[in-house]
Structure 1
Amino acid sequence: MKILVADKISAKGVAYLREQPGFEVVEAYGSSPEQVLELVKDVHAIAVRSETKVTREVLEAAPELKVVGRAGVGVDNVDVEAATERGVVVMNTPSGNTIATAELTFAHILSGARPVPQAAASMKAGRWDRKVFAGVELFRKTLGIIGMGRIGGEVAKRAQAFGMQVVAYDPYLAPSRAKAMQVEAVTLDELLEKSDFITVHMPLTDDTKYMIDEAALAKCKSGVRLYNCARGGIIKESALIEALKSGQVAGAGLDVFEEEPLANDSELRSLSNVNLTPHLGASTVEAQAAVGVEIAEQISDVLSKGIIRNAVNMPSIDSAAIKVLGPYLDLGSKLGTLVQQISPNQISSLRITYWGKIIDLDANAVTRSIQRGYLRRISGDEVNEVNAPYLLKRLGVEVEVTKSNSDVDYTELISVAAIDGEGKSHSVLGTLIGKAQQPRIVGINGREVEVAAEGKLLVLENLDQPGMVGEVGTLLGRTGVNIADMSLSRLVQGETAYMVVRVDSEPGDEARTELKAHPKIKLAKFVQL
């Protein structure tokens, strides 16, 4: 498999990829967009930092591409939506630069409290301005942290070591987690009102863009100090500039900007009470080595083992999770394939229900496996676990997932029901049998059956009359089709019954025509799992 390293990552990371059997590694640093389009034509993976843009055009030019690995956190330079549509996994390395970014944030906080950069510049200019550069202490001050993920948590530890009180705003922060980290969880308005220093550590989204604007700054204490080493655009720069001029914000430290590189004529460059760094968050020797090796390992795991970690467009699956979820993934895929083949071409929704141990596991990967199984015969090689939800949505199919604690006859049970336009349900049930966790079909359209979920199946709905098993067996035998096993089911004697026949070979046109034309057979579907 061919891997394009488009941006310079750590030499250890490149060496790791070259050591893996079956990998061809191409290093092409500083390539123009036109050169990238040529280079990606036969690659299976691309490793980038922030320089190379993996656009929709690039993705369309790479038919073999399976994974894009970003050595760093932000994926602004990757068209994640287009990658998802094409079934390409996009991964980043969120932990590799955690310490580096937390330490840079605290360097900015310290430089804002004690104007060391300005004092150093004054000294080098030959001056001795002790009185000009008086600062403030961090001790007993309140630090407000917006976003308590990995980096926010590390900043909190350092602030506490300096004797600061820490308040935090994060809509996803559980009270127990806040207590364990010894921080006070507050609303955003409370944080703005209480804090002497504020630092942001959120991703840039529609919800967080300009989170700190004119209105937010007006709620802050007069003389607050503000820091952003996360993503440009969370703090509205025009509002910050006016607040720095008025003194509402006493000082600021920025490592990221709305537009990068920062324009030469940006007013931020001329303000003495703001410290600027050129996006250095991950720029330490240790962080560069860590993210380079980490992304190399992640790419290798995807290509050689199917293990996905730190994906931004699908649930991550590590080796431990695969070991537990593997049988469920196999069963889910087969149930999806089966329900698609016994349903009308057009459905409005897929209803997936889980019972048993799986409700305590992360079933997202199993849900995607079901969706992929459903689409396998519709979308062919185009579909995988990455783009299956997108492709279903494009077909207008809603997916509903339920985890149930109600009593059922099986320790493990998965139901997949396809609902057609008239509201009719076409359903299958599956379970895992024995220590080997073999997948079994145990229900079709409300009838109890039991047949191995493998190979080739004939699903027949016929009138419940004597001799039907013999007629079907004779017909199949006459056309050279051997029966492996069979399951029979009915709800009411004398009405209709289900016959699920596992066969060794696919029935030919003659057998299919006879089965469908048989006056006592209402439904005849050949299903290949």
Structure 2
Amino acid sequence: MTHRVVIADRVADAGLRLLAATPEIEVTNCAGKPREELERALAGAAALVVRSETRVTAELLTRAPQLRVIARAGTGVDNIDVHAATRRGVAVMNTPGANTVSAAEHAMGLLLGLVRHIPWAAEAMRRGEWDRKRFEGRELRGKTMGVVGLGRIGGHVAQLARAFGMQVVGHDPYLSPERAAELQVRLLPLDQLLRQADVVTLHVAHTEQTHHLINAERLKLMKPTAVLVNTARGELVDEAALADAIRDQRIGGAAIDVFAVEPLPPEAPLRRLDRVILTPHLAASTAEAQERVSVEICGAVRDALLAGDLSFALNVPGISGDLLRRLGPLLDLSRRLGRLALALVDGPVTAVEVDYGGRDEAAPRPVLMAAVEGLLSAMNVEPVSLVNALLIAEERGIRHARRTGAPEPGFETTVGVSLETARGRARVAGALVGNSHGRVIRIDDYHVDVAPEGWILVIRNRDVPGVIGRVGTLLGGAGINIGAYHQARLDLAGHDALAAIAVDQALMNGVLDALAKVPEIQQVRLAYLGA
């Protein structure tokens, strides 16, 4: 099978060569070509690679019915409608670490240029001037840097700042105290950081919560000599408020690489201000970073398409190729149990709970996702995958939960799937045998032993003689071959019994109705668990 990878924006050749050298991958390069050509190529695409130029909207996704991966050659994904992609079962990937050094160095370069007046001194020299006094600057040593966001880039900036002899304080509500100690950063509330810092540098993603994180009110908290550096996302800063603060000399200056609207309009107020350095989104624009980004993202696309490795995916965190290979039989069993459970309930499903019993700490969440995927696929929801299963369940009002505990007695690894509807509950459980193939081992309170494949007929009946014979006669008369027949009863005499029967084909021509009319049979259900 050949997978088409569409390149929408220019990426370094090293990554493209990696894809082209993979026999199972066909590369279609639409970088710099008309939009219509991109849309035609997407019709048969399995993956789309973009940088920041192409906006991947919900409408564009409708042009790519076979798309499995969107890969952003860079860090931010604000040009991608991640929710729409997730809804369609498309993994969204990025390369958060590949440009760490380049972005951090650019932030420090902007800061040095700003406090030492380097751009203006260089411009004066080109005009033939020689004015040392006018461009007297300030040292970084002994000053306080406030780093907002201490992820990969922010953490590296903190290390570089300490190398210059700066004191570093930080704000990051998600950073552990251990990591802060490792970075030698004192964590502060944002407003307190703004009051103390001589330099404020931003390194957070743009979200609803961080939009205009630096606004007019927070700019008033900064020292009149403090400077602001933004190499993260333009929308983090209220640019009009920043221009006013610099114009009124309420802060010492700013160095900005990213803007709310890019390219920055020629009439933008920031272009006309002194004590402001502007660069056109260059933080990751080094030869080394672009090559790393290209190789990393193209390798991630290859591994996702050929091995199912989703370790780079933002919307399916923590699902690596190694994990998928290790959990493959367990995830397959979970999907099949989800399908079986659906056949046993009446009415719309309102809740699903998945119990994992085993020793693999990474298993519970993927097992839940796989079970919900199987449930939704049995409901004929298309397309559904690990990427969008939980989201689709939530949209349909299906609550989901997972529990971890001891496996079912006698087994090392088991999965239980419980469904709830307005009319009742059903629970099924399965186990891995030899870590390679699964068995259905429980249906509600009944212990069974049947392979989770093909057509499974589940019959509840009164525990009286003759039922097995009547079922066999009806099926045989209809030309239905029985692959396995497991009859289960509870320990207490006089209770009902349950049969799990593997049959070779679907029951047609009223066979299910005929079984249901047998006086001793109380319920008949048929499930298809997959080949």
* TM-score interval for Structure 1 and Structure 2 normalised by the shorter chain: over 0.9
Cα deviation, 1:54-74, whole Å, max 9, x if unaligned, reads 222221122222222111112
1:74-85 superposed matches below 5 A: 74-85=76-87
Instruction: Give the structure 2 partner of residue 518 of structure 1.
Output: 518
In the alignment, structure 1 residue 490 sits paired with structure 2 residue 519: no
1:227 Cα deviation after fit: 0.8
The TM-score, its normalising length taken from structure 2, stands at 0.94
Query: 8 Å contact 2:485–2:499 — kept in the other structure?
Result: no
Instruction: Give the structure 1 partner of residue 378 of structure 2.
Output: 377
1:148 Cα deviation after fit: 1.0
Structure 1: how far apart are the matches of 2:40 and 2:325?
39
Structure 1: how far apart are the matches of 2:98 and 2:345?
47
1:381 Cα deviation after fit: 4.7
1:168-317 superposed matches below 5 A: 168-317=170-319
Indicate the larger mover: 490-499 or 339-348.
490-499
Structure 2: how far apart are the matches of 1:487 and 1:186?
65
Q: What amino acid is aligned across from residue 355 of structure 2 in structure 1?
A: T
Structure 2: how far apart are the matches of 1:207 and 1:5?
32
1:318-329 superposed matches below 5 A: 318-329=320-331
Structure 2: how far apart are the matches of 1:496 and 1:526?
19
Query: 8 Å contact 2:258–2:281 — kept in the other structure?
Result: yes
Instruction: Give the structure 1 partner of residue 437 of structure 2.
Output: 438
Instruction: Give the structure 1 partner of residue 147 of structure 2.
Output: 145
1:207 Cα deviation after fit: 0.5
Q: What amino acid is aligned across from residue 418 of structure 2 in structure 1?
A: A
Q: What amino acid is aligned across from residue 344 of structure 1 in structure 2?
A: D
In the alignment, structure 1 residue 400 sits paired with structure 2 residue 401: yes
Instruction: Give the structure 2 partner of residue 65 of structure 1.
Output: 67
Cα deviation, 1:138-176, whole Å, max 9, x if unaligned, reads 112111111111111111111111111111111110111
Q: What amino acid is aligned across from residue 248 of structure 2 in structure 1?
A: S
Q: 3-state SS of the aligned residue for 1:350? A: strand
Structure 2: how far apart are the matches of 1:202 and 1:60?
31
1:209 Cα deviation after fit: 0.5
Query: 8 Å contact 1:204–1:233 — kept in the other structure?
Result: yes
Q: 3-state SS of the aligned residue for 1:386? A: coil
The TM-score, its normalising length taken from structure 1, stands at 0.94
Which of 8, 26, 29 is residue 28 of structure 2 equivalent to? 26
Instruction: Give the structure 1 partner of residue 387 of structure 2.
Output: 386
Indicate the larger mover: 96-105 or 472-481.
472-481
1:261 Cα deviation after fit: 0.9
Number of residues of Structure 1 aligned to a counterpart in Structure 2:
526
Structure 1: how far apart are the matches of 2:406 and 2:279?
54
Structure 2: how far apart are the matches of 1:257 and 1:475?
73
1:404 Cα deviation after fit: 4.1
Query: 8 Å contact 1:487–1:500 — kept in the other structure?
Result: yes
Instruction: Give the structure 2 partner of residue 91 of structure 1.
Output: 93
Query: 8 Å contact 1:354–1:413 — kept in the other structure?
Result: yes
Q: 3-state SS of the aligned residue for 2:64? A: coil
Instruction: Give the structure 1 partner of residue 114 of structure 2.
Output: 112
Change in 2 beyond 3 A, CA 1:491/1:246: farther
CA RMSD for the aligned pairs? 2.1
1:9 Cα deviation after fit: 0.9
Query: 8 Å contact 1:449–1:489 — kept in the other structure?
Result: no
Instruction: Give the structure 1 partner of residue 127 of structure 2.
Output: 125
Q: 3-state SS of the aligned residue for 1:47? A: strand
Query: 8 Å contact 1:484–1:504 — kept in the other structure?
Result: no
Structure 2: how far apart are the matches of 1:402 and 1:273?
57
1:291 Cα deviation after fit: 1.1
In the alignment, structure 1 residue 425 sits paired with structure 2 residue 425: yes
Structure 1: how far apart are the matches of 2:71 and 2:273?
38
1:437 Cα deviation after fit: 4.0
Structure 1: how far apart are the matches of 2:338 and 2:162?
52
Q: 3-state SS of the aligned residue for 2:464? A: coil
Query: 8 Å contact 2:350–2:422 — kept in the other structure?
Result: yes
Structure 2: how far apart are the matches of 1:495 and 1:108?
79
Structure 1: how far apart are the matches of 2:457 and 2:363?
33
Q: 3-state SS of the aligned residue for 2:235? A: coil
Cα deviation, 1:89-146, whole Å, max 9, x if unaligned, reads 2211111111111111111121222111111111112222211112221112111111
Q: 3-state SS of the aligned residue for 1:449? A: strand
Q: Which runs of 5+ in 1 are unaligned?
A: none
Indicate the larger mover: 130-139 or 474-483.
474-483
Query: 8 Å contact 1:36–1:58 — kept in the other structure?
Result: no
Q: 3-state SS of the aligned residue for 1:199? A: strand
Structure 2: how far apart are the matches of 1:268 and 1:317?
43
Change in 2 beyond 3 A, CA 1:3/1:437: closer
Instruction: Give the structure 1 partner of residue 50 of structure 2.
Output: 48
Query: 8 Å contact 1:351–1:399 — kept in the other structure?
Result: yes
1:82 Cα deviation after fit: 1.9
Query: 8 Å contact 2:448–2:486 — kept in the other structure?
Result: no
Q: What amino acid is aligned across from residue 387 of structure 1 in structure 2?
A: N
Q: What amino acid is aligned across from residue 21 of structure 1 in structure 2?
A: P
Query: 8 Å contact 1:315–1:364 — kept in the other structure?
Result: no
Structure 1: how far apart are the matches of 2:128 and 2:308?
61
Cα deviation, 1:179-229, whole Å, max 9, x if unaligned, reads 122211222222222211111111000000011112222222332111110
Instruction: Give the structure 1 partner of residue 472 of structure 2.
Output: 473
Query: 8 Å contact 1:71–1:92 — kept in the other structure?
Result: yes
Indicate the larger mover: 10-19 or 272-281.
10-19
Change in 2 beyond 3 A, CA 1:438/1:32: same
Structure 1: how far apart are the matches of 2:97 and 2:237?
24
Structure 1: how far apart are the matches of 2:177 and 2:449?
47
Query: 8 Å contact 2:211–2:235 — kept in the other structure?
Result: yes
Structure 2: how far apart are the matches of 1:487 and 1:243?
79
Q: What amino acid is aligned across from residue 484 of structure 2 in structure 1?
A: A
Instruction: Give the structure 2 partner of residue 413 of structure 1.
Output: 414
Q: Share of identical aligned residues, percent? A: 38
Query: 8 Å contact 1:105–1:229 — kept in the other structure?
Result: yes
Query: 8 Å contact 1:315–1:365 — kept in the other structure?
Result: no
